[in-house]
Every structure is written in C-alpha cells, then in structure tokens.
A and B are shown apart, each in its own frame.
Chain A
Amino acid sequence: MTAPDDAMAPAPAAPAAATRPFYWSVRRELWENHSIFIAPLVVAALFLFGFLISAHSLPTRAQDYSMLGPAKQASHLAQPFEILAMMLVVTGLVVAGVYCLGALYGERRDRSILFWKSLPVSNLTTVLAKAAIPMVVLPVVVFVVTVAAHIVVLLLSTLILAANGLSVTPLWTTVPLVQMELVLLYGLFMLALWYAPVYGWLILVSGWARRATFLWAVLPPIGLTIVEKIAFDSSYMSHLFGSRLAGFAADAFDFDAPGGAGDPLRMLTPGRYFASPELWLGLAVAVAFLAAAVWLRRRREPI
C-alpha cells in the first residue's frame, strides 16, 4: 500500500477553501503521538552518551585495528555505525507496533472519535493516514535520525583521533558510510512493506477490541498455532507467522554477494524481493485488514 505524496510535504500556503484531509490527518497523528519522534531521538542520544563514555579507549582500539588487514579494520570501524542503525530500526519497529495498537483504540476510549467524525474526513482517509505512520513516516524518521547520529559519531571519532595524533584516514576511507545509509533506506522501506500485514492486523485489532488490545493482537496467532499442532500435528501456522516476523531479509538481501563487504549496495536484491509471492500475499492481506478497519470505524461506537 502506498500513501499519497503529500504526506511528508511541507505545508504551502493553501488557498482558503482548499482542504487536504490526508495531510492534516497525518499531522494530527504526529501531534498526538510525540513518541514517533521522541523515541528514536532518545535512543540516539543514549547511544551517543555511551559512545562518549567509551571514547577514551577509542585511540587504543584504533591503533589495534590498524594492525589488522584493511577488510577487518573496516568492519571494526563500521561496527558502531551498524549497531546504532540497528538500535534505531528496532526502536522504529517497537514504536510502530505500539502506535498501531492504539491507532483506532484511543479515539474510541476518550470519545474523541465523535469529534473527528463530526468533520468531513472519510474513514478511509483516516485509516490510510494512520497506516502511513508505520509505513512511511516512521521509516523516514528513523532514517533521518540515524544519518544525523552517524554524522555525529563520525565527527566525534575524527575529533578524538585527531586530538590523539592518530590518522583519521582509515575511518573516512574504509567505512562505506554513504552506501550504508542507502542500504538502510532500502532496508527500512522493504521492512515496512514486509510488515504491512502485521501493522494492518494491529490497526484492525485497535479498531475492534474494547479492551486488552495487546492480548487480542497476540493470542489469535498463538491460539491458531497451538490448535493446528494439536489437531493436525503440523506447524504451517508457526512457519507462516515466523517467516512474517523474521523472514524479511532472506529475499531482500544477499549477504554473500561478491564484493558485498566493500560495497554493501551489492547485497541488495530488490528484483528478487519484488518477485517474491510472499511479499505480495502479505500486501494483499494488509489491504484486506485495512479495508476491514475502515468498515469497522464506520460502525464502532465509543467504548
């Protein structure tokens, strides 16, 4: 599923009567859910704080790395960048999950759904705006925060090394930072597409459950797995859920690609990814879940 382009566009001065319900619906989500920005920023800040504390040993480590071969040296130097990116990607996923579970639940609980529904914004627009948060907004936020934090790490490392009279050349030449950022951007959006049915399910549950959204989201898949195991002694369900949660990288990346260590862009396999039936099946399920959520929002009343 895709969101119209204006989702992230800055607000131009619109003529008086022109309305942009989708754009303002996304803005409204950002007003309500500050954690979309705050959580990645806090995680990045914590990482930088830890990085600063560990900085005193950086010169020694840099000298140790320089004894190693260029490939090993590069992988050691790239490590903090990779860990930081990984932490922020995981943070983004957690925020997305928490957000989706509250997406259609909070407005019913505080009865503000009556206010939102008193305005000429369709249920479809509202649900799509909410789906755009995990699908578009969070990947962009995670990407921007990661790149910014990477730049800070790079500058701090450079300062520390230079202050200790060490060469900064390996840091600037062996770590393929630009390629890493492109891989991150690719990975974030491929991950969002892969998780689309998960987000769709969570949004659907948030529009349906009267309480305990988390249990309603988690128990049905677990229950299905158990019932299947007992009834048929098979485990298709657990494979299905398992590959949905963890199987995204298998088609999107080729980690053994030749030259992948020096140029991570060689590891990307978008062709294989977009040819994967699992991806398209997942997207179809996501559309079905979101359609059900639109239908529910029309009928559900405040809790």
Chain B
Amino acid sequence: MACIEARGLRKAFGSTIAVDGIDLKVEEGRILGLIGPNGAGKSTALNAILGLTSHEGELRVLGRDPLTQRDQLMTDVCFIADVAVLPRWIRVSETLDYVAGVHPRFDRAKAESFLARTAIKRRSKVRELSKGMVTQLHLALVMAIDAKLLILDEPTLGLDILFRKQFYDSLLNDYFDRSRTIVVTTHQVEEVQNILTDVMFIDRGKIVLTCSMEDFEARYVEVMTGPEHLAAARALKPIQERQVFGRSILLFDSVDRGQLGTLGELRTPSLADLFVAVVGAPGPDGPAKTQGLAA
C-alpha cells in the first residue's frame, strides 16, 4: 500500500485553481520534498492530504479518506503546519499533558528528554517562547509520536540558520527510520537537498517534475565551460544556461557524461538551479522551459 496515493487531485477557491489535477504516489520510507514557488499549491495539496480541506479527485492516505476519517488518520499522521500554530496561551506542560491525553502513540518520556536538551521551561507559555523555541517544542511533541507519516509545511520558515540546521539534524538522527515517510515543503531548497530521497516540483497547481534523488543525480549534470566550447555545448541542448564570472554553466538532462566531460568541468546541479531551470522564467534567448522534462 502506498503511503499517499492521489489521482486527479484538484482544489479550486472560487475561480482560482490552487491544485490542478495532480497524480501522486508516495511509497513508505521515502522523504519527499515538495518544492514550488509561493502560491504553487503546495500547502493546499498538503491540506487535502491532511484532511484539512475538501477536494476533488481520488485521495487515499494510509488507505483512508483524509476528509471523512481524519481523526483515525491522525493516529498515524503527524504534521507541523508552520511555526505559528501552537496556541499562544498554552503552557509547555499543558501541551505535553494534552497530547499524552489524546494520542495513543505519544511517548511522553521521549518528548521530555528532547525538551531537556533545550532551554524551554515547563511553566512557560508559548507566547513567551522565541520562534525557534516554539519550533523545538512542536518538533519535540511530533517526534515523540510513533507515526507512519510526517508532513512538514514550511517547518523552518522565519527561523535562523542554527535552528534550521538543528531541526533537520534532529529529524534525520532522532526520528527518521526506513519505515516512516516524510513529506516536506520548503523554500530553503539547499538545506533539504541532502536529506531527500525524492523530489517533486510543483508550479501553478501542476506537478512539473518528479524523480528520486538517485535519478536526479544520474540524469542532471552541469558543465562549466569557457567560450571555446560554448557552441559545442549548446548543440547538446542544455535545459538552462547561465553566466558566472565570464564562464558559462549549462545544465543538461540525460546527456552522456563522457561527451560532456570533454567540454568542461562536470558537477551535480543544486536542486535550486534545476528548479530555476524547470520552473523559473527562461532567459531571453534561453531554452524553452519545458524542454527535457519527463515528469
């Protein structure tokens, strides 16, 4: 059974189509990065997966309909929507009491030991904590839940770099094992590149690219080349070209590396560069942006 399975998932707000018929299949044990510009429909898709919004099309999460079976589903699914959703009036100790009181898979001792590594006081109210501490608290609650699927929607938005780093380190070291599935959306693409197993680009409600990170590394390659090889490189149909310090960097999809190696230095592109190539506006004389996609 796939962890998340969607066919023709669609959601419109009035005349605005937020999610425009996406097909999606996430297997157990994957860490999927959902990457897209603001308003691409990432959060709406996640909200549908979490049963927080109605939708059209077929959608099963862990074999359940998220909208009508949300309360059962939430025994196996955790999510952090963004840092601002813990109620400001609640005390840290009350969050522990409450989650322990309602969640059959919450391990209070685990949450306590995670909190012990932070500067968060039990008596503090959420409104008295810094943004980074609120995230630590939320993460402590979520990581102490033995869930099958964890969904993170911009979990590190507005946090400083130390908290962001620590957040993903904790996630990988203390939480993730091969039986869990994580779906994460973020703007800080470079920070999640190394932890993802799969990546999906989403733009204007549609999936524009989906591949595993192994495929990504096998398919995409960047060549840094000087003017002498530029014409030859361009003949191999790069999907993107940009200038850095007078040299050209060309991004290729599924082009033989031996051939490219003669033109200049090869390296694996960053997800951010691929994202710009696939989704971002093409340069005035750049290649068509949809070229070379096998989404």
Contacts and interface: CB of A to CB of B under 8 A. Distances in A.
> Chain A interface residue count: which class?
20 to 34
A301 B53 contact: yes
A111 B89 contact: no
B103 A27 contact: no
Given A31-B94, A114-B81, A21 B102 contact: yes
A120 B71 CA distance: 4
A125 B101 CA distance: 14
Contacts, number: 88
Interface in A108-139: 110-112, 114-115, 117-123, 125
B90 A31 contact: yes
Nearest to A24: B101
> Which are the 5 A-B pairs with shortest beta-carbon distances?
A24-B101, A112-B87, A122-B71, A120-B74, A114-B81
B89 A117 contact: no
A179 to B, nearest CB: 39
B103 A298 contact: no
Interface in B115-135: none
A121 B104 CA distance: 11
B152 to A, nearest CB: 11
A32 interface: yes
B84 A111 contact: yes
A37 interface: no
A19 interface: yes
A31 to B, nearest CB: 5
B102 A32 contact: no
B4 interface: no
Given A114-B81, A115-B87, A118-B50, A27 B75 contact: no
Nearest to B84: A111
Nearest to A25: B102
Contacts of A17: 104
B262 interface: no
Contacts of B22: none
Contacts of B77: 118
Given A19-B101, A118-B78, A298-B67, 14 more contacts: A21-B102, A24-B97, A31-B89, A110-B87, A111-B81, A112-B87, A112-B88, A117-B50, A118-B50, A118-B74, A118-B77, A118-B80, A120-B73, A120-B102
A239 interface: no
Contact of B87 (A21, A107, A119, A298): A107
Name the residue among A17, A20, A31, A119 with the largest chain B CB count within 10 angstroms: A119
B75 A120 contact: yes
B184 to A, nearest CB: 15
B79 interface: yes
B245 interface: no
Contacts of A27: 97-98, 101
Contacts of B54: 299
Interface in A23-67: 23-25, 27-28, 31-32
A120 B90 contact: no
Given A114-B52, A114-B81, A32 B90 contact: yes
B97 A115 contact: no
A21 B100 CA distance: 10
Contacts of A121: 71, 74, 102
A301 B52 contact: yes
Given A118-B50, A122-B71, A111 B102 contact: no
Nearest to B72: A120
Contact of A19 (B78, B86, B103, B138): B103
A299 B52 CA distance: 7
Contacts of B89: 31-32
B148 interface: no
A23 B81 contact: no
A23 B101 contact: yes
Interface in B48-73: 50-54, 67, 70-73
Interface in A274-303: 298-299, 301
Contacts of A25: 102
